[in-house]
Structure 1
Amino acid sequence: MLKRLAYLALCACAPLQAAPLLDDARLQQLANDRYWISLGHYETAKLGGWRSYVDDPRFFLDADGAHHPDRELKATLKALYAPASLGEKHAQCVFPARTRWLREQLQLNDLPTLACKDYTQWFKDVSPHSAVMIFPAAYLNSPSSMFGHTLLRIDQADVQSDNTALLSYAVNFGAYIEGNDNSILYAWKGLMGGYPGLFALVPYQEKLAEYRSLENRDLWEYRLNLTPAETGRMVEHIWELKQIQFDYFFFDENCSYRLLELLQVARPSLDLTSQFPLTAIPTDTVKAVKQAGLVERTDYRPSRERELLERAAPLDKAEEQQVLALSADTARLNSAEFTTLPKARQALVQDAAYRLERYRANGQERDPARTQRSFELLRAINRNPPPPLQIERPGLPEEGHESRTWQLGAGTREDRAFAEYGLRMAYHDLNDNAYGFPLGAQIEILQLKVRQYENNDWQVQRLDLATIRSLTPRNELLQPLSWQVTGGLERVLGKHDDEVLVSHVNGGAGGTWQLADEMLGFALGTVRAEHNNDFAEFISPAAGFNTGVLWRNGLGNLTLEAKGDYFTNGEIRRSLSLNQQWELSRSLGLRLSAKREFSQLASAQNEVMLELKWYHY
């Protein structure tokens, strides 16, 4: 605040020229212009008027600029005529996008002349000509990346002809995290806006290494049809946002939402953000950009993990063992076991060994021994190169089902019929429509299911705060851990054959194996903490298991699961379930569910339900 007052005092005491006087009508007209609203990141406030998403007073020249676009415009116009002696701190240097627009709108030909060397050199280094939206696919083992991510790449004029995208810059918006918050604390603070969000402009090569290599995430690149002038306008505004803080919210005011605002600065006729009043999940924002006609081409970059698995796919068990042996000791390149292989097979094995070594090096400190092994393998590859790696492009993530799901079911539980109504805010389970989603990945946030039994008997069946499952298959080369975690409210068997609504937290870890094409088998050990009014303890712990089969078939996805929980108080609860989904269309699924539950407290219960799922944002 003191900084702003000192700045305004300088402007008032030593003006060189006077700012033009605008009548109220013209002032309001400019202040309500879509471009000015975009530059200030304004939205209509809940109780009327305006509010800016920017939560940093340094961004505003008027004390009430965050809520009054007209006052901010008036203060900006005055600041543009401040003495040139302010140098790099002058409003023309700090706010180049505002300056250019007001100069054009009001024909401001008498502004003080400034060099703005810092901004001019920065803009020259970036040299914006075109833009690409980058979507690193979802990565379940990182809480910040469960839903994927979006960023922008700013390309120079010769990037496409010279194939020099690695020299471009990336625009990223993310939460600024100090210290090492654990996953639970990260999720809570991310939901509640506990982190500041900042824009960053960094070399694209750094972000590519981070997402493609360190986190082993596939990358999708959506080339936008922005003109050089539109791209330049966007980059002008990025300079204005340097070190400017926004509140970061995991579900709405996140990386994807902020980038949509930048695109509206580039092309003010766009209306992208109004589609996301509650949540802004990255895949949904990519769909919005595509539907707005901004995408002219889509490119796919597979992760190092996918490249390794694809190279190793044609190898048999003995050859996979050779891969492990070579990656551990390159002297095995001269062993009889390796040299007796046909040359074509040698080429595949040594290339897979090299890729395995580079995969293992991700995120690790430089190891001279590993570097030497990689070098020896690379020399062998140059002497006997393998065929080019051909990776089939998976389904486009934005063409998968919508993230929000409405659910309507009908079924019977023992001799009682019921209807079930549900809403899930986001966004995919193991049985949902498969296109665009990896097999074995489940992320569900805020799911409510309510049942209506005969005689108008209503009850909450479950309320899931979050359910995450990562079932990644193990093989000879890679041994990922499968895991799951869930928490919320659910109905379980209780005394007198009744159902009791309990609160619980449940998690587990284990392994997943590829049983056949499009078929996974999994087995996890689990732990559970439950508050149940039928139990004497306030919190009752249990250990258990969760095992089953997941099969992607011609109709959709099928799961067959067995679960068990063995409580320390003597209660034993088990269940068998079968779920098969029919994919009626991209937005509709029909699911048949059958379940049998067992409990020490009650007799076994059978349940069958047919459920219609409508995926609709």
Structure 2
Amino acid sequence: MLKRLAWLALCVCAPLSAAPHVDNQRLQQLANDPFWISLGHYETAKLGGWRSYVSDKKFFLAPDGNEHPDRELAATVQALYAPASAGEQHAQCVYPARTRWLKAQLNLTDLPTLDCTEFKQWFKDVSPHSAVMIFPAAYLNSPSSMFGHTLLRIDQADVQSDHTALLSYAINFGAYIEGSDNSILYAWKGLMGGYPGLFALVPYQEKLSEYRSLENRDLWEYRLNLTQPETERMVEHVWELKQIQFDYFFFDENCSYRLLELLQVARPSLRLTEQFPLTAIPTDTVKAVKEAGLVESIQYRPSRERELLSRAEPLTDEEQEWVLKVSADQKQLQTPAFKAQPRDRQALIIDASYRLERYRANGQERDPERAQRSFELLRAINQNPAPELDIPRPGLPEDGHESRTWQAGIGTRGDKAFGEYGLRMAYHDLNDNAESFPLGAQIEILQMKLRQYEGNDWQFQQLDLATIRSLTPRNELLKPLSWQVTGGLERVPGKHDDETLVSHVNGGGGGTWQLGEDMLGFALGTVRVEHNNDFAGFIAPAAGFNSGLLWKNPLGNFSLETKGDFFTNGEVRRSVSLNQQWELSRNLGLRLSAQREFSHLASPENEVMLEVKWYHY
């Protein structure tokens, strides 16, 4: 900010060089050019005109440049002719992408000459030649990571031939967090726009370590067919965005949306952002980039966690116990019991032990004892190497179903028939079409359901603000916590044998276990806080449970769940439900659900429904 203020002061205190007069028609033509619109991150305002996504006033040269691209352009032309004595704070040095474009469009051959040493050295260090879009896949046990993420890697000319991608730089947009907010608080404030967003250019090796190791997320690398001039133009604009704040919202103005804007700076003919007027889910933005013809190749990099689990997969329970013992104490390698194992099985155990030790070291300060254990295991691996680890590439993240869902169903509750209609803004539940989604993952945002009972009796049935469930299986080596959280409005059994609309927040934690190749069992303890007009108190707390089975079968996904809530006011509410979804196509599903509810306030009730789910946009 100080740089921009410094050169503005110089503009006021010193005479400008002779800036050319740009007639109004040409000014408007340039101000409406897609490239200038992209440079200013403008969008059409709701009531007409323009507004910029940039929330930082210091980005603009005109006082109202955030709403008037033409005035910002005119101010930029004037600023380019400011005295060269402004040095590194001169507009030519602060706005290299604007400068290059306006020089070409207006044939500005008489601009003051400046060195712009800081920018030129920075640009030389980055040395942009080509670009790769990186997609760190969703990671279940972190609510801030369950949607996935995107960033751009900027490669130098010889990266592909020399295999030196680790020396590249990455362009990342993210929430700027001061302090130590936990993951759940981060997700909430991200939803509500509680953080500013900033662009950053960092060594790619740092981001690779962060996502593959610290967060245990698989990486997908989409090499783009941007030319060198297009890549350079995009990187020049990143310099213009240093320390410039944007609004940050988890579901629309997020990392993926901002990177789409950068790609439109690189290639102004693209129309990527206009496809996402409401939400910008990372997988959907990846899909949009592919459909725009920008992707020329795809590479997959598994996380350390996936590598560990893949190595441990062929091991028996007894062999996995050996992994735990060997990783903790390398003297176990010399015991007669271990040496009695076949040599090829020893190799698998030692290799898995080393991977487990390195996995546990993720994010930890260097520990000399752990380093020594890793060294001993590496030496054992050299003496008896395991076969190379071959991890099958999973389904592409963007090949899953679309994010928004329309629902329509018919059913009965007791002796009454009904039709139910719903809309979910995002994203996926436990029974949805499973391709490219991990079993046990659920994240839903803004789901609304209406019912129409016989006699044209309409009823508002449900409004979920957010529902997140992470059912990650435990095993001998890793024991993650499964958890869930949800809040909103829903119908519950009422004291007049009707359904009462209540507001609620509830969550829980527990464990999930792999019962078969495509079957999970889970058990969680839960807590609930509810406002119910049938209760005397304003709010009523409850403790309870949620357990069940998930089975990915040839038809689709099956679930069987039992729930219970035991309120402090004496109300006891229990239910058992089953759901089976048939996957008719990638974006079309048919779901049968059945439920029996028990309540101290009402008679037991049965409900059965058959619904069509259309995944759209």
Residue 4 of structure 1 and its aligned partner are, at CA, apart by 5.8
State the distance in 1 between where 2:21 and 2:8 align.
Answer: 18
Which structure 2 residues correspond to residues 556-571 of structure 1 after superposition, within 5 A?
Answer: 556-571=556-571
Residue 9 of structure 1 and its aligned partner are, at CA, apart by 5.0
State the distance in 2 between where 1:93 and 1:300 align.
Answer: 38
Residue 192 of structure 1 and its aligned partner are, at CA, apart by 2.6
Match of 1:196?
196
Within the alignment, does 1:539 sit opposite 2:545 as a pair? Answer: no
Any idea what SS the aligned residue of 1:48 has?
A: coil
- Contact conserved, 2:557 with 2:581, CA < 8 A, in 1? yes
Deviations, residues 425-455 of structure 1 (Å, cap 9, x unaligned): 1100000000010000000111111100000
Are residues 475 and 6 of structure 1, via their aligned partners in 2, closer, same or farther at CA, if it must alter by over 3 Å? closer
State the distance in 2 between where 1:562 and 1:8 align.
Answer: 66
Deviations, residues 512-536 of structure 1 (Å, cap 9, x unaligned): 1111110001111111111111111
State the distance in 1 between where 2:194 and 2:549 align.
Answer: 39
Consecutive unaligned residues of structure 1, counting only runs of 5 or more, are none
Residue 338 of structure 1 and its aligned partner are, at CA, apart by 1.5
Any idea what SS the aligned residue of 1:97 has?
A: helix
Residue 47 of structure 1 and its aligned partner are, at CA, apart by 1.3
Within the alignment, does 1:608 sit opposite 2:575 as a pair? Answer: no
Residue 10 of structure 1 and its aligned partner are, at CA, apart by 2.5
- Contact conserved, 1:256 with 1:281, CA < 8 A, in 2? yes
Match of 2:297?
297
Match of 1:20?
20
State the distance in 2 between where 1:238 and 1:548 align.
Answer: 49
Consecutive unaligned residues of structure 2, counting only runs of 5 or more, are none
4+ residue runs over 4 A deviation? 1-6
Comparing 587-596 with 184-193, which one deviates more in the overlay? 184-193
Are residues 38 and 536 of structure 1, via their aligned partners in 2, closer, same or farther at CA, if it must alter by over 3 Å? same
Aligned-residue RMSD, C-alpha: 1.3
- Contact conserved, 1:15 with 1:81, CA < 8 A, in 2? no
Match of 2:489?
489
Any idea what SS the aligned residue of 1:349 has?
A: helix
Any idea what SS the aligned residue of 1:271 has?
A: coil
Match of 1:172?
172
Comparing 404-413 with 525-534, which one deviates more in the overlay? 525-534
Match of 1:503?
503
Any idea what SS the aligned residue of 1:496 has?
A: coil
Residue 486 of structure 1 and its aligned partner are, at CA, apart by 1.0
Deviations, residues 537-590 of structure 1 (Å, cap 9, x unaligned): 221111111111100000000001111111122211111111000000111000
Match of 2:343?
343
Match of 1:528?
528
State the distance in 2 between where 1:496 and 1:33 align.
Answer: 64
Deviations, residues 41-93 of structure 1 (Å, cap 9, x unaligned): 11111111111111112111111111111111111111111111111111111
State the distance in 1 between where 2:295 and 2:7 align.
Answer: 43
Deviations, residues 12-34 of structure 1 (Å, cap 9, x unaligned): 55446311111111111111111
State the distance in 1 between where 2:487 and 2:267 align.
Answer: 43
* TM superposition score normalised by structure 1: 0.98
Match of 1:387?
387
Comparing 290-299 with 134-143, which one deviates more in the overlay? 134-143
Q: For 2:324, give the aligned amino acid.
A: L
State the distance in 2 between where 1:122 and 1:6 align.
Answer: 21
Aligned pairs, number: 617
Q: For 2:296, give the aligned amino acid.
A: E
State the distance in 1 between where 2:9 and 2:507 align.
Answer: 60
- Contact conserved, 2:283 with 2:398, CA < 8 A, in 1? yes
State the distance in 1 between where 2:90 and 2:309 align.
Answer: 55
State the distance in 2 between where 1:482 and 1:544 align.
Answer: 16
State the distance in 2 between where 1:508 and 1:179 align.
Answer: 26
State the distance in 1 between where 2:519 and 2:4 align.
Answer: 63
Any idea what SS the aligned residue of 1:455 has?
A: coil
Any idea what SS the aligned residue of 2:496 has?
A: helix
Deviations, residues 463-483 of structure 1 (Å, cap 9, x unaligned): 111111111111100111111
Within the alignment, does 1:467 sit opposite 2:500 as a pair? Answer: no
Match of 2:408?
408
Which structure 2 residues correspond to residues 37-436 of structure 1 after superposition, within 5 A?
Answer: 37-436=37-436
Residue 3 of structure 1 and its aligned partner are, at CA, apart by 7.5
Residue 182 of structure 1 and its aligned partner are, at CA, apart by 3.9
Any idea what SS the aligned residue of 1:131 has?
A: strand
Any idea what SS the aligned residue of 1:497 has?
A: coil
State the distance in 2 between where 1:145 and 1:473 align.
Answer: 18
Any idea what SS the aligned residue of 1:22 has?
A: coil
Residue 265 of structure 1 and its aligned partner are, at CA, apart by 0.1
Any idea what SS the aligned residue of 1:66 has?
A: coil
* TM superposition score normalised by structure 2: 0.98
Q: For 1:507, give the aligned amino acid.
A: G
- Contact conserved, 2:44 with 2:50, CA < 8 A, in 1? yes
The percent of aligned pairs where both chains have the same amino acid is: 81
Q: For 2:546, give the aligned amino acid.
A: N
Residue 343 of structure 1 and its aligned partner are, at CA, apart by 1.4
Q: For 2:394, give the aligned amino acid.
A: P
State the distance in 2 between where 1:3 and 1:514 align.
Answer: 58
State the distance in 2 between where 1:607 and 1:9 align.
Answer: 72
Within the alignment, does 1:516 sit opposite 2:506 as a pair? Answer: no
Comparing 473-482 with 184-193, which one deviates more in the overlay? 184-193
State the distance in 2 between where 1:184 and 1:357 align.
Answer: 28
State the distance in 1 between where 2:318 and 2:29 align.
Answer: 74
State the distance in 2 between where 1:121 and 1:604 align.
Answer: 74
Match of 1:584?
584
- Contact conserved, 2:54 with 2:247, CA < 8 A, in 1? yes
- Contact conserved, 1:16 with 1:112, CA < 8 A, in 2? no
Residue 277 of structure 1 and its aligned partner are, at CA, apart by 0.8
State the distance in 2 between where 1:342 and 1:5 align.
Answer: 72
Residue 119 of structure 1 and its aligned partner are, at CA, apart by 0.6
Residue 602 of structure 1 and its aligned partner are, at CA, apart by 1.4
Match of 2:438?
438
Q: For 1:414, give the aligned amino acid.
A: G
State the distance in 1 between where 2:316 and 2:557 align.
Answer: 28
Any idea what SS the aligned residue of 2:455 has?
A: helix
Match of 1:7?
7
Are residues 5 and 137 of structure 1, via their aligned partners in 2, closer, same or farther at CA, if it must alter by over 3 Å? closer
Deviations, residues 583-605 of structure 1 (Å, cap 9, x unaligned): 00111000000111111111111
Q: For 2:34, give the aligned amino acid.
A: R
State the distance in 1 between where 2:2 and 2:142 align.
Answer: 41
Q: For 2:312, give the aligned amino acid.
A: A
State the distance in 2 between where 1:193 and 1:15 align.
Answer: 42
Q: For 1:403, give the aligned amino acid.
A: S
Comparing 108-117 with 395-404, which one deviates more in the overlay? 108-117
Q: For 1:426, give the aligned amino acid.
A: A
Residue 419 of structure 1 and its aligned partner are, at CA, apart by 0.2
- Contact conserved, 1:211 with 1:217, CA < 8 A, in 2? yes
State the distance in 2 between where 1:378 and 1:292 align.
Answer: 46
Deviations, residues 161-199 of structure 1 (Å, cap 9, x unaligned): 111111100000001011122445433432232211100
Q: For 2:497, give the aligned amino acid.
A: D
Q: For 2:243, give the aligned amino acid.
A: Q
Q: For 2:560, give the aligned amino acid.
A: L
Any idea what SS the aligned residue of 1:464 has?
A: strand
- Contact conserved, 1:191 with 1:250, CA < 8 A, in 2? yes
Are residues 470 and 157 of structure 1, via their aligned partners in 2, closer, same or farther at CA, if it must alter by over 3 Å? same
Deviations, residues 274-293 of structure 1 (Å, cap 9, x unaligned): 11111111111111111111
Q: For 1:202, give the aligned amino acid.
A: V
Comparing 4-13 with 339-348, which one deviates more in the overlay? 4-13
Comparing 417-426 with 187-196, which one deviates more in the overlay? 187-196
Residue 5 of structure 1 and its aligned partner are, at CA, apart by 6.8
Residue 397 of structure 1 and its aligned partner are, at CA, apart by 0.8
